Structure formats: C-alpha cells, structure tokens
A = this chain, B = another copy of it.
Amino acid sequence: MSNPDAATPRERYRAQVREEIKKHAWEQIAAAGASALSLNAIAKQIGMSGPALYRYFASRDELITELITDAYRSLADTFRARAAAGADLGDLAHTLRAWALDDPQRYFLLYGTPVPGYRAPEDTTRTAAQIMAVLLDACPDEEPPGTPPSPPSPLQSHLGRHRAWAEQHPAPPAALHRALTFWTRLHGVLSLELAGHFTGMGFDPARLYTAEAQTITGQ
C-alpha cells in the first residue's frame, strides 16, 4: 500500500494519484473484468492525458500486479480479523463467500484464469501463505466427533512429507489435508457460481456451498 502520510509533499501527492488510479481501475475491473482494463480510459476519467499514467505505473501489467497484491492483502486481512474474533472454519467459509460475492471480478483476479505470461511476485505468494496459515490455525486439533480414529491416509502421509507450504506451521498432516480441502472445495463451488455455471439449473448455490463447508467442519 502506498504510504499516504509520507515525508515530502511530493511523495504524498504521488501516493494520492496512485491511489486514485487504482480506485478507477477497480471500478473498471468490477464492471467488465480485468481484461477490459484500459489505462487510457483511466487517464481520461482522472483528467490526465494518456501517457501521464506511465509516471505512476511502468506498465499495465505492473498496475494489475499491484491490484492483485492489494486484493490478496484484503482477503488475508479480513481472514485474520475474523480469526482474531474467534471464527472457526465454518465462519471463515462464510467470510470467504461474502468476500467473493462483494466483488466477483476481484475474486477472479486472484483465483481465475491466469494471465499466461504473468509471474506472481514473492510478495503475493507470501500473502497467500499467510491465508493458508490462518486456515491452519483454525483447524481443530481433534477430528470431528463421529470420525473413527483411523491411520493417516496415503494422501495425509504424503502431505506430511511434502509440506513446503506449511514449513513454518506445526499443523499435523490431518490439518494440512483439511486446510487444502477447505480451499479446493469452497473454491470449486464458489468459482462455478461466480462464473454463472449454476444459473438456470434451478437450485440455490448458497445451499450447496454451506453443505460443502459442513463436510469440512464436520457437520
């Protein structure tokens, strides 16, 4: 995030303009998706003419990259805030859906079709890891009641041996499995819903979502 109260007034002005550019960029993205983002149109809306924007963002890709990192931070912050308020996995599932429905194109910017040439900077991967850490923190230590005490599945022992993504976290293999499943199952329902694949099918996607969430939280 650009520091709004920086030392020199020059930097303050610069941060302010950058923030206004990003504001209009988000409006365009929310309206027509990231692929329809036009630097020219943003410049016109602000009142500048075309190439002036390149004083603030080196390229269209750099602007989009910054929007992506901001979106990641937004999701991580809301997750952390909810977790700090004592949210469990079920609450976080609801939080995720609300965050996605609040701006579907922002969700697609993070978890939708990747831009072929795009390479995620180290910053965003670290934020993504923080999101997973919040999930791992929220995973209960014991299995849900009603689950027979079973030996770790082949997948869980695999996850226990290949846990580069949770190196900093002491979560047991079952928690790794549960956090991954939380992510993939909810993303499965959510992305298909946001993409409109359920429209016309008749049922309520929210019910399917909560049902999937319950398979993770253990009813």
Contacts and interface: CB of A to CB of B under 8 A. Distances in A.
Interface of A: 31-33, 35-36, 105, 108, 111-117, 120, 125, 128, 153-155, 158-159, 162-165, 177, 180-181, 183-189, 191-192, 195-197, 200-204, 207-208, 210-212
Nearest to A183: B192
A204 B115 CA distance: 23
A187 B192 contact: yes
A108 B204 CA distance: 24
Given A154-B207, A185-B188, A187-B188, 13 more contacts: A33-B116, A35-B35, A35-B115, A111-B195, A112-B112, A120-B196, A177-B211, A181-B212, A183-B188, A184-B188, A185-B212, A187-B192, A188-B188
A184 B196 CA distance: 13
A202 B115 CA distance: 22
Given A117-B32, A202-B163, A203-B163, A184 B183 contact: no
Contacts of A207: 154-155, 158
Given A200-B164, A203-B158, A207-B155, A36 B188 contact: no
